[in-house]
Amino acid sequence: MARHKQKVAGGRNIRLADQIQKDLALLIQREIDSSRTGLITLSAVELSADYAHAKVYYTVLGAEPGLAQQALDDKAGWLHAQLFKLLHIHTVPTLRFFHDPHVERGIEMSRLIDQANASGPATKPDDVEPSV
């Protein structure tokens, strides 16, 4: 039997991650120029068990993910300082941003499905008499 069991994220961890996601979304909306970086949407925040590190997952519409990544990395320190002011906790996590390609992949899959449906069925059934 394993000496250390894998812990499932506790309630406080989830609540804090949700609050960080909400606060960051507002800060990013107000402070990062969307004409240059596109529309940045936060899809998830994962906190480490000790709340020292946060992985922030985002999607981008209307620009290259690399431009958004650069803007978020440039503002990471400032966003951390603003979170420190907004959240009344002892340890505010260090922010690391990761592009989440799931939305773009979903849009592409939907487009392919629509394209396949528009072209009609792949084979037409022969004149088959219905069985009685």
Q: In the chain, where are the structural domains located?
A: 12-116
Exposure letters 27-62 (e unless 16+ CB within 10 A, then b):
bbeeebebeebbebebeebebeeebeebebbbbbee
Give pLDDT tens digits along the chain (132 positions).
444 444 555 788 899 999 999 999 999 999 888 888 889 999 999 999 999 999 999 999 888 899 999 999 999 999 999 999 998 888 899 999 999 988 778 888 998 999 888 887 655 555 556 665
Q: What is the pTM of this model?
A: 0.74
Q: How many whole angstroms separate alpha carbon 38 and alpha carbon 68?
A: 7
Class of domain 12-116: alpha beta
